[in-house]
Structure 1
Amino acid sequence: MSRFKNAAGFQRPAAAVAALLAAGTLVAACGNSGSSSASGSKVITVWDQEQSAKNIADGYQSVVKQFEQAHPGVTVKVQTFPFAQYRDKMLVAMKGGTGPDVMTLDEVWTPEFAAAGLITPLDDRVQASKQIHPADFFSGAWKSTQYQGKTWAVPLNFDVWEEMYYNADMFRAAGLDPNKPPTTWSEWNAAAAKLTKSPNQFGISLIGSKDESSSVMTDSLLFSNGGQILSGSDKVDFDSPENVAAYQEYQTLLKSAPQGTSGTAESDAVNQFTAGKAAMILDGSWQQDTMKTSAKFDWRIALPPAPDGKKFVGALGGWNLAVNAKSDNADLAYQFIEMLSQPKNETAVNSLIPALKSAGEQFVQANRKQPDVILSALNSGLPRPASPVYPQLSEVQQSTLQAIIGGKDPQSALKDGAQQMNQVIANNK
């Protein structure tokens, strides 16, 4: 089945748009936010990007029916878009004043939309809500809604980069105990070297292509070593000693990876693993669906190794629910978010892990192998930098990794990258 990638690097099976747009209330809604129907009843519009690992249209239909029954005279119209089109359509509509009342935003878009005044802060509504309580959500997911001391959204779903997938059969053949995968960087490097039998077998396949997946994957190395990209929203820490050491670790692992890492995307790494060419990869829990059908060997997962004496910290991605700053029906829009944030409803409209702890834990236990490992990774996770210029900063990070893969000294590469990031921030003040 063909696949597409979202900004967080997560991949979901692609399906036809028509399969997601059910009859009845799930209709196209491109009119002005806060519009009214011909009979004078209020209309709220909801936009989401396609999640097609399952048919979420049925889930939305159920929530819409509940909401309309609880709010006589209100009509809810939902529209979903292919991910590749979603962000551009959203920005055009929002800046033109014709955006939806409620929208899902990639967590790394949330600061951008907040800084541009396109969405409204929700602090007062959250404080007064009987349904939404920050403590009920995974902490990392809730942190992704924060920018400059305010709450701009409510988490819908999330996941973490990443777990370490490993081929237990290859471990046995190499004399390694598959019940004791590496837990430290030094053990990791030794295992990867021992598992490498070039040109047919390699210890690890690393994502290195110039896209968001390489940023979020390497973030986990930085975070695990105590590093960060930014301090606050505009102080660049990219060239810190902690980050230099993390990229040096990546460069060490490259010695045990196949040639061509600069072009290795997430799907390429997965294919190398399932084909038995790579003994280990770093990827998220969503790839278990692929492993169950394509990996014809004893595959397992573990928390990725961390620097000696430290613990693994993952990098989060996911989607948040926000309210249009120009909505004439902001209260109703937030009430719809409240209804979506009930555990049963959040599960119904999701193909990623629900952001509510109760729903998310149940989802992982029911759908994932080694759920305890995944939940541990989820609870470790931190969001990517909360910056309105994050996409540009990530492009710098991707180019820096390309230079390091090409042989550039990490300290020099990160120094150059930090200067470029500072320039991006300065140009956007």
Structure 2
Amino acid sequence: MTASPLSRRTFLRGSALAAGAVAAGGALSACGSGGSGSGSKSGSALTYWDWYVTQAPWVDGEVSRFQKAHPGVTVRKTTQVSAKYADLVALAYRGGSTPDVFMVPQSPGLAEQVDRGWLLPLDQWATPAWQAGFPEGTFIEGANVFGGKVYSAPLKGSAPQYQLYVHNGVFRSAGLTNPDGSVKVPTTWDEVSAAADTITRKSRGRTYGLGFGNGDNMGLMAWWLDLFVRGAGAPGGAPSGTGTGLDLRVGSWTYASDRSYADFLELMVQWKQRGYFYPNSLSLSDEAARAFFERGKFGMTVGGVWNQPEWTQHKFTDYSLVTLPSPGPTPKAYYYADPVGTGAFAAVSARTKHPQQAFQWVDALTSAAAGRRWVQDLNGVSVHPADNAADGINSKPFAAFVAMTKQELTGPVPVVRNPDLAGVTPQAPKSDIGDLVTGVYTGQIKDVRSALSSLADQKGRLLSTAVAAVAKTGKKAAMSDYVFADWDPTVPYTTKKA
């Protein structure tokens, strides 16, 4: 499955929250959200965990609506630290303080969470009629269905994960405009280089062409590599995480064999050497980088749609965005959505004492009505296609993002072809692609091609070991299951079943 980073992706709320949550150990409990109320003594109190920060107003609004529709039920929300989310969920299960409903962590895999008995089967309520309210292919054996039982439902839809954001005011000040006065948004590697050079030169050190925030140590620099290499023809991109980033044409990581990776990293180093990057980018938090971009301290940054709600709250809308900047005029690969295609799912704990009410909350969060509000609040696209209609979207930048769904194609999904692959859970390398990009940027990694080759080999060995472990249990799993030799990355992938 094409998975988004902890992802599909939100932000660290702060180290203090992380330390406090871990220190609490088995006593982890959900604090009240802004939309929470106090339930009656005879009612039910549901605890709910997610990692949504900029999207929190939407969640709080849904909490308020749900409680009004279910007067005897209270939802108590905790927004956990995204970088620690998987550890906190595991800790809660060990300590016996699991939330009733929660966003599914991406580690361990959903299949392993089911095997561990973490999740409640939802079939009593998630009937075929209920499933029919979602697009065809949303519920798939090996993805979110195991042994014929449904265990989760998607919170959001899928769209290109990363975009290049352009500060219109900075571009206009640098004279980067078209004859009609509109901002000249770069769409190729060369155009990004030229724009960064012009901004940096003309501002004389007051503004930089490029900037980011990697102080949170969340592998954010991998975003740049992922965004730029896809259009160059690397369909696996460069997402961090286990089992992701494969070039499914060959079933392996092509960091070394596809020159796009080394070419972009060399270009990035040139950008740094020429002074195009904001000097303190490595020490900035991602949140600070968003604020610096908003203030015009640099003209371009890489991020996702999660930036937009906060900027809109600050009344900053003078920016443009583009995805898949490519060496040439036409992308040679794209972003790809699997049939489930969300990267964010809601599930119910097997330990909940209020299963029916917990499912009702899942039903409310994943409904078409909530999805439409998700879109209108500028959080992203909905899993329900009708929710993504242009009417009602008053933000020009967000409308541009929604239109980018045309630049995401259906790609091959190994677990759809072979559900037994759901049990394949490769270990994560000690350092992943984000660490490699950071090392190249800082100059600690000199031999880029050797580092790329070593990481690709390491991830390949980890995946092969995980596949072999599943095969030993008697299931049909092989490395060949990850090879789709007939796949053309420039067109949607389709299969014909006998």
* TM value normalised by structure 1: 0.71
2:428 match: secondary structure: helix
1:372 match: secondary structure: helix
Give 1:44 deviation, angstroms: 8.4
Higher strand share: 1
Give 1:92 deviation, angstroms: 2.4
Give 1:182 deviation, angstroms: 1.2
Give 1:130 deviation, angstroms: 3.0
CA contact (8 A) 2:271 2:277 kept: yes
Amino acid at match of 1:375: V
Aligned equivalents of 1:271, 1:385: Cα separation in 2: 40
Range 147-156 or range 52-61, more displaced: 147-156
Give 1:310 deviation, angstroms: 0.6
2:436 match: secondary structure: helix
Counterpart of 1:187 in structure 2 is 191
Deviations 1:145-187 (A, max 9, x none): 6599997521113675433222333333433224331112222
Mapping of residues 155-304 of structure 1, within 5 Å: 155-157=154-156, 161-177=161-177, 178-197=182-201, 199-209=205-215, 210-224=217-231, 225-228=233-236, 229-230=245-246, 235-241=252-258, 242-254=260-272, 255=274, 256-292=276-312, 298-303=318-323
Give the CA RMSD over aligned residues: 4.8
2:156 match: secondary structure: strand
Counterpart of 1:62 in structure 2 is 65
1:322 match: secondary structure: strand
Mapping of residues 314-325 of structure 1, within 5 Å: 319-325=344-350
Matched, 1:343 2:364: no
CA contact (8 A) 1:110 1:145 kept: no
Check 1:129–1:396 CA distance in 2 against 1; reply closer, same or farther (3 A cut).
same
Deviations 1:310-340 (A, max 9, x none): 1684599753112335668767754553343
CA contact (8 A) 2:212 2:301 kept: yes
Check 1:380–1:80 CA distance in 2 against 1; reply closer, same or farther (3 A cut).
farther
Mapping of residues 45-124 of structure 1, within 5 Å: 45-49=46-50, 51=52, 53-54=56-57, 56-57=59-60, 59-64=62-67, 66=69, 68=70, 76=73, 78-84=75-81, 87-95=86-94, 99-106=98-105, 111=110, 113-114=113-114, 116=116, 118-119=118-119
Structure 1, unpaired ranges of 5+: 28-36, 70-74
1:213 match: secondary structure: coil
CA contact (8 A) 1:167 1:279 kept: yes
Aligned equivalents of 1:23, 1:356: Cα separation in 2: 29
Give 1:400 deviation, angstroms: 0.5
* TM value normalised by structure 2: 0.63
Deviations 1:122-142 (A, max 9, x none): 7997671335544279x8x99
Range 152-161 or range 402-411, more displaced: 152-161
Aligned length: 403
Give 1:364 deviation, angstroms: 9.3
Structure 2, unpaired ranges of 5+: 18-29, 237-244, 416-421, 470-498
Aligned equivalents of 1:81, 1:223: Cα separation in 2: 35
Give 1:396 deviation, angstroms: 1.5
